Structures are given as C-alpha cells and as structure tokens.
Structure 1
Amino acid sequence: MLIRNKLILRFTLLVLAIQLSLSAFVYYFHAAAREQRFTRRLAGKAVMTARLHLSSPADSTRTARAFRRADLLTIEQEEISIYSSDNRLLYVSADTVPQAENRRQLPRVAASAQPVTFRAGSLEGVGFNYGPVGQPYRLFAAGYDALGWSQLASLRLILLVGNVGALVLIILAGWYFADESLKPIARVIKQVRRITARELNRRVDEGNGTDEIAQLAITFNRMLGGVEQAFEAQKSFVSHASHELRTPLTVALGTLQTGHAYDQTLEDAKASMASAVDDLRQLVALTNSLLTLAQADEARFRGEPVRLDECLTQALSQCQGRYPERTIRVDFGQLPSRLETPFAVTGNAHLLTTALLNLLDNACKYSRAEVRATLSYPDLGTVAVDVVDSGIGIEPGELARVTEPLYRAENGRQEPGYGIGLAVTQKIAQRHGGELQLVSIPGKGTTATLRLPAAQA
C-alpha cells in the first residue's frame, strides 16, 4: 500500500474514532438527561395528585373526582396510583390502570429512601414514599415520554447524518493532508530521478534545512557526494590502471614481435626475451599491487589480536632485503606504565605488515639517508608508527592526492613504482578503524604516521 493511502486511511480512522466517541458521549448523556427529566416530571405529577386527593374528603363527589382524573392528565398514557402505608390502594388515575407492576415494586419502594424507577411495558415508572415518617404513602406514576423519545430519535438522526457527512469531509481532509505532507517527498523523488551517472554533480533541494524532509535531502546529498567521489575515483583508477597495464603489455609484445622478425642469432633472441621478461615482471608486480589494493578495499575481514611491533619487524626485514644499502632504525616512543601486551591491536596481520612495508618502501625509495621508524602510544587507546625520512618530500598541492590509487607526485616519477602503496596503506588503516597521516616538506623529507586503535585488554 502506498504511503499516501496509508496516511489517508489512518487519518480517517483516527478522526472517525474521535467523532464516533464524541457522538456516543453526546447521545448517552442526552438519553440519561431525558430519563432524569421524565422521572422528575412523573414524581412531581404524583406528588401534586396526592396533595389534591389527600386534602379532599374520602367521600368527595363524583364531579370533583372526575375533575381530578380528567384535568390532571398532562402526560401521555399517564398512570398514577396511591397506596397507604399498609399497601392498600387508595387512589388510581383510571379504573383500567393495571396494578401488577406497582404491587411488585412495593417492597423496593418501602425499603428505599430514594425514588425507585422501573419499566412497565412501553411505559416508564417511578415509585417513592410520600408523607409523614412512620406511615408514609406509596406513590406510583408511569407514562410514555413521547416528546423525550421524539427528541432522542431526532438526535440519533442528526448524529447519523452528521457522522456520514463528517466521514466524507474527513476523507477529503485526509487526502489533502496526505497530499500536502508528501509534496516535499514527491519533489525529492522528482529531483532524484533527474540524477544520472553522467550528472552526479546535481543535488537535491534541501528546503528549509530543519525539518525531517530537509534532513533526508541533506543525508541524500552527502551520500550522493560520496558516490560522486567514488565514481570519479573509480574512473580515474580504471583510466590509470588500463594505461599502466597497457604499457608493459605493449612493450613486451613489441619486443617479442621485433625479435621474432629480426633476430638472427641466439644471443639477439635471448636479449629480446630478457627485455620482454622484465616487462612481464613489471606487469606481474603491477597486477599484484592491484590485487593487494582490492584486498585492502574489502569491507570485511576477520580481526584477530595482532602485535604491531612484530608486523613492523617483518616489514623491516622485507624492506631491508629490497634496500640492503639503507639504514633503518627502530625507536620506541612514550609507552604506558602498565601494558599486558604491548603494541597489541585487533586486525589482520598480513594487511598490517603490507601497510608498514609500503611506508618503509616509500621512505627508502625516495631517501638516501637513514630512515627512522618509531613505535609509540600517543594516548592509552592508540598505537602509532611514525616512518620518517629526509628525502625529496611532497609538494603541498599534491599531498592530498598521493593516497589516490595510481597517482604519483611529479617529483617522484623518476623512481620505479605505480602509485598504489599509499592508497593501499590508507585503506588498510581505515578498515582497522585507524588513519594515515602525512606531513611533508619538499626537499626535507616526509613523516608518515599510521594510527590504529589499541586492543582492549
């Protein structure tokens, strides 16, 4: 079901429930008030009749008795009866008035200090004590409240018609309410549909910037900004990767084709093959680097307790094998006073070793002087490794881009490489909940800091 229809249905049901509850409340109290008014009216008529009858002699003339019976009848189907304290019938408004119900109510009336109400067929009745204490009379009055029932029927009709009409208005109001409430969402949907892969720079109108729809638009714009950056990074990566992969393949193919066409001696053929092997080795190295980048970019990996100092030792051993002439010194910075397992982090040992190896490799590649790696605790919850060199450095304008895949700074392109190491290291740091920080001064060197959350004891 559409949200619009859900809103209309819920709004209609809610308001209709309130409307029906109010109607039931009005009808109930009107009915109770009618019954109370009619009961008081019957009691008042019975008292007036008793006063007139009891104030006259018992042997009053037929004319006086006929006057009382005929002229006091003001309630439709009125029936008034008077009993003595010993339950003898003293007076009845008509000779045809049945007394069976009155006699059935006599014990209740005698035992109650308040009027007793009852029904006798279609008539409503009331019985109560009247007169001196000790020997009161029992007065009974019954009748049909034609006016009251007519008014109650009119009220039912009014409420029925009113609720039906209100239901129509409620549905219309619900439709208007849902339409007005969903207009901002419809506007967002219309704008989102216009955004395509070629127009990721477009954004959704954020409205007033404060309500829920505006917050949704802001969140979507932030997500769209991230998608645009990822899309641009992907395009750049594909472009650079295709170029980097095409170059060694083209060179190797050209070398083999040339050797096949022109080489006449075994020595020439072996030289061509050796050149092609070097190109293919570069291709394999580049492919391995791209695979490492893909592995580092995976959203999930199994985290285990890892000693970062052991990872640094392995990375140092591998780097020393690549650059035997370089001096790499390992220092220890400030350490907490109490450590059960020093330099412990949670993560993947292979990935962390790769990240540290990339930092050491870059430092040794672009610096001929000593490289220093320092393990420390900047705070109790963080383990850091600083790799410092005094090499060529990075220009400020390029510092923010060197972590992009396949991007290389202008002053470092003379050295072999593919511009993937720092990108891999940054992704590994992010996957471990840490970060990679770079500080560089052109001509003086670079400090690369890998910060990772310390493992909880």
Structure 2
Amino acid sequence: MRIRTRISILFTLITATILLVFACTVYFSAVENREREFYALLKKEAYTKANLFLNAKVDKKTLEDIYHNNRKILNEVEVAIYDTRFDLLYHDAVDIDFVKETPAMLQDILKNKEIRFYQEKWQVIGITFPYKDKTYIITAAAYDQYGYNKLNSLLSTILLVFILSIFLIYAAGIFFSKKVFQPILEMTQRVKTISATSLDARLTSSGNKDELSELASTFNAMLDRLENSFDAQKHFVSNISHELRTPLAAMIAELEISANKDRSIVEYKTVIDNTLNDAQKLKKLFNSLLDFAKASYDSSEIAFKTLRIDEILIDACQQVLQSSPNYKLDIFVDPAIEDEKLLSINANEYLLQVAFVNLIENACKFSPNQKCLIAIKADENRIQLEFKDDGIGIDPVDLPNIFTPFYRGSNKDYSEGNGIGLSLTRKIVLLHQGEISVRSAKGVGSVFSIDIPHRSLF
C-alpha cells in the first residue's frame, strides 16, 4: 500500500473518530435534554391539574373530558391526585390507569417529595403538592412522542452526515496527499534518470525551508560527494594504469629483445637485472596501493590501541635502514617530556609506521646527504613530530598539490616515485584525527609536521 493511501486512510480514521465522538456527544446531550425537559413538562402539568382540581374547583367530569378529547390528537399527560391516606381523589383516566399507583409507590413519593422513573417508554413523575395545610400526592405520566421523533430525526441526520463526511474526508485526503507528495514523485522520477554517466544531474528545490527542500539539498550534497568520488576513482584508475604500464612495458621490451636472438651471459644478466628492477618498482607500487586502500577504510573498521609513538618511530627507522643502510637518521625527544604517558596515543601501529617510513624515505632520498632529523614534542593534548631534511626543497607551485594522489612535482627527475606516499601519509594522519603540514624552501629543505591528539587517554 502506498504511503499516500495509508496517510489518507489514517487521516480519515482520525477525523471519523473525532466526528463520531462529537456526534455521540450531540446525540446523548439531546437525549438528556429531552428527558429533563419532558420531566419538567410533566411536573408543570401535574401542578396545573392540581390547581384546577383543588383551587379552581373544576369538576372532575370536565377535567376527564378535557383529557380524553386531547388524548385523541395529543400525547396528553395522565394525572392522578391522592391524599396522604392514599385515597384516590382524581384520575384523568381510571379506565386506562397506565401508571397503576401502589401504596409503596405513594409512600416513596411522600417520603422523597419527588421521584422520577420510566414505565416502559412512558416517563412518570411523582410529587407532593401542599395546599391549605394539607399535602397531596400527584403522579403524572406521558409518552413523549414528539421528543422521540425529534431524536430519531436527529440520529438519522447524524448518520447521514457522518457517512457523507467520511467519503468527503477520504476524497479530500487523497487530493491533498497527492498535492503534498507531488514534489516527492517528481524527485523520484528525477532520481530514476540519474546514473553513473549523469551524476551531474541534481534535484530541484523549492527554496522553502521545509523537509522536502532539506531532503533535496541533502540528496544533492550526496550526489556531489558521489560525483567527486567517481571522478577521483576514474582519475585514480587512470593514474594506476599509467604507473603500471611503464614498468610492464619496460619489462616486456627487455624480454622481447633478449628473446630475439642468443645473448651472452653478461647481456642476459643485464636483462635480468633491468627486469628485476622494474619488478621491484611494481612490487613497491602494489604495496603502496594496498596501504592506500587500507588507509581509505572507515575508521570504525580499523583496530586502534594504546601505543608508544617513539617505539613506532624506532620501528619505522629500522625498516628504512634495513632497505637503505646508507641513510642517516637522528631522533630528538624533547627533554621536557617527563611523563611517559605523554608519548602514548590510540593508533594503528601498521598504518602509522607506514606514514613515518614514507616521510623518512622522502626526506633522505631528496637530500644530498641522505639525512633526516626527527623531533618529538608532546603535551597533555597532543604529540607533535617533525621530519626535517636539508634537501632540494619543494617548488612553491607544487606545495598545494603534494598530497594529491599520483602527483609528481618538478623534483620527479631527482628521484623515482609513484606519487602515492604523501597522499597515503595524509590519509593515515587524518584517520588518527591528526593534522599534517609542510614548510619548505627551494634549495634549503623541507619540514613535515604531524600533530596527533592523545584521544582522551588521560
């Protein structure tokens, strides 16, 4: 069932319930009013007949004739008058005597001064009437034909209006829900036209600060992120293809040349060395891509634990020296750090070590002296690391783009690389809720600074 239909039905049910409560209130109020007013009429008729009989001394026969004549065309009130000894003094119609008064009833009237009750659908009232130091007991009874007819007419009208109202309310609910959901239907049709080849399409917004406009804005923001992600992915794949094609093409060319004719052992060895060198480049590229993928995971899916950052840094230095023993590395720890807890952070050891290795290798391979100076500072809020070199520096034009994947600046001819290292390092630092920045001057050197918070360790 469509939401629009469910809302219309729910709206109709709620409104119908309110109307039903209102109708019942009106009807039962009318029932009570009819009963109260008719009892008042009976009481008035009882007093009138008593005054006519006792005070005006109207003849019994005359009063009875009036009653019988009126009864033919009206629901005349039947009145009976008794004294305190329960002797019948007057009765409009002894032959009919609908009430059939009993001594117990009369005693009850005398005791309570007034009683009211139903006999079948006839309403009966019993009252005492004081006259000239005497007390008389009067009963009056009648069937309120006019009142019941009005109630039946009211009930029929209420039922008819209620049923018609339900249909009208449901129709109005369908109409207005269609109006309300029209923008959503338009959004749905628009979304159906959006695909991977048309991510530049956007939902139109009315500009009102309502939920639908907010939904459209949120969806457009999501499309912006998807479009950027697709563009980055296409750019990423294109760069990977380029980076893979170069060493593979070199390897294939070397092997094809060596396979064309017999070569000497020295020549075969040269081909093997060149092919091995290209294979090492591929291996390094694959490892970098794997690390880049790991650093792109949701932070909630990456395991973090409490680690000493100086220990991670030492492991990174050992890894670098193992592959490049000629590199020179110096680590300086701020002597003001007296509490070892200031060197502890919540981190992923593998990823953070990868980031440190990248920064150390960059500092050494772009420095004539192949040296990197590493400084560690810390306070109760964060840890700061600096990786300093005395190398060729970074061109100011390249500085805004050095963290872009596969970006190679003007120093690409100085040393080989694939442009992934710094972008990977930045992702890892951001995963640790840290910040990375760089200061560099052409021909002077570069300083990469990393600030990583302790993340509520204390």
Q: TM-score, normalised on structure 2?
A: 0.89
Does the 8 Å CA contact 1:292/1:424 hold for their aligned counterparts? yes
Evaluate the alpha carbon distance shift between residue 263 and residue 121 of structure 1 in structure 2; reply closer, same or farther with a 3 A threshold: same
Residue 415 (structure 1) shift = 1.3
Q: What is residue 178 of structure 1 aligned with on the other side? A: 177
Task: Tell me if the contact between 1:75 and 1:143 (Cα under 8 Å) persists in the aligned partners.
Answer: no
Structure 1 counterpart of 2:62, from 45, 57, 64: 64
Using the alignment, how far apart are the partners of 1:425 and 1:23 within structure 2? 74
Q: Tell me which moved more, 358-367 or 103-112.
A: 103-112
* Distance across 2 between alignment mates of 1:448 and 1:136: 116
Q: What pairs up with 1:96-175 in 2 under 5 angstroms?
A: 96-100=96-100, 105-113=105-113, 115-131=114-130, 136-175=135-174
What is the alpha-carbon distance in structure 2 between the residues aligned to residue 4 and residue 24 of structure 1?
30
Per-residue deviation, 1:132: 5.8
Against the structure 1 CA distance between its residues 233 and 76, is the aligned structure 2 distance closer, same or farther, given a 3 Å change threshold?
same
SS in 2 for 1:136: strand
Displacement of 1:170 in angstroms is: 0.5
1:269-293, CA deviations, whole angstroms, 9 ceiling, x for partnerless residues? 1221121111111111111111111
Which has the higher mean CA deviation after the structures are superposed, 294-303 or 28-37?
Answer: 294-303
**Residues in 1 aligned to 2:210 and 2:437: alpha-carbon distance in whole angstroms:** 37
In structure 2, C-alpha distance between the alignment counterparts of 1:342 and 1:133, rounded to whole Å: 111
Match of 1:217 in 2: 216
Q: Give the letter aligned to residue 98 of structure 1.
A: F
The alpha-carbon deviation at position 238 of structure 1 amounts to: 0.9
Once residues 255 and 53 of structure 1 are traced to their aligned partners in structure 2, the CA distance between those partners, rounded to angstroms, is 140
TM-score (norm 1): 0.89
Aligned to 1:39: 39
Once the two structures are superposed, the pairs formed by residues 218-233 of structure 1 within 5 Å of their partners are 218-233=217-232
Q: Is the 8 A contact 1:393 1:442 kept in 2?
A: yes
Task: Give distance in 1, aligned partners of 2:167 and 2:328.
Answer: 87
State the partner residue of 2:432: 432
1:158-189 Cα distance to aligned partner (Å, 9 max, x none): 11111111111111111122112212222222
Give, in whole Å, the separation in 2 of the partners of 1:34 and 1:117.
14
Distance 1:323 1:191 in 2: 57
Closer/same/farther in 2, CA of residues 331 and 138 from structure 1, 3 Å limit: farther
For the Cα contact (< 8 Å) 1:336–1:380, is it kept in 2? no
The AA in structure 2 aligned to 1:15 is T
Cα distance in 2, alignment partners of residues 263 and 360 from structure 1: 44
Q: Find the aligned partners of 1:192 and 1:353 in 2 and give their Cα distance.
A: 44
**1:289-328 alignment to 2 at 5 Å?**
289-299=288-298, 300-322=301-323, 324-328=325-329
Report Cα offsets for 1:97-122 as digits up to 9, x if no partner. Answer: 13446655435433435x43211112
**Cα 1:216–1:410, aligned 2, differ >3 Å: closer, same or farther?**
farther
Distance 1:75 1:173 in 2: 47
Gaps of 5+ in 2: none
Matched-pair contact (CA < 8 Å) for 2:99–2:124? no
- Between 37-46 and 198-207, the greater mean CA deviation after superposition: 198-207
State the percentage of identical aligned residues.
30
Deviation for aligned residue 1:258: 0.9
Please tell me whether the aligned partners of residues 434 and 450 of structure 1 are also in contact (alpha carbons under 8 angstroms). yes
Equivalent-residue separation in structure 1 for 2:68 and 2:164 (angstroms): 47
1:453 matched to which residue of 2?
453
Give the residue type in structure 1 aligned to 2:116.
T
Report SS of the residue matched to 1:53.
Answer: helix
Question: Structure 2 CA distance, aligned partners of 1:233 and 1:192?
Answer: 22
| Structure 1 spans left out of the alignment, 5+ residues | none
Matched residue SS, 1:342: helix
Are the aligned partners of 2:53 and 2:59 in contact in 1 as well (CA < 8 Å)? Answer: no
Whether contact under 8 Å (1:42, 1:142) holds in the other structure is: yes
Partner SS state of residue 207, structure 1:
coil
Q: Which moved more, 1:276-285 or 1:259-268?
A: 259-268
Shift in alpha-carbon separation, 1:424–1:61, aligned structure 2, 3 A:
closer
What's the RMSD between the two structures over aligned residues? 2.7
Determine the C-alpha separation between the residues in 1 that align with 2:270 and 2:243. Answer: 24
Read off the aligned partner of 1:371 and give its amino acid letter: C
Q: How far apart, CA to CA, are the structure 1 residues paired with 2:102 and 2:55?
A: 23
Alpha-carbon distance in structure 2 between the residues aligned to 1:345 and 1:133: 109
- 1:411 maps to 411
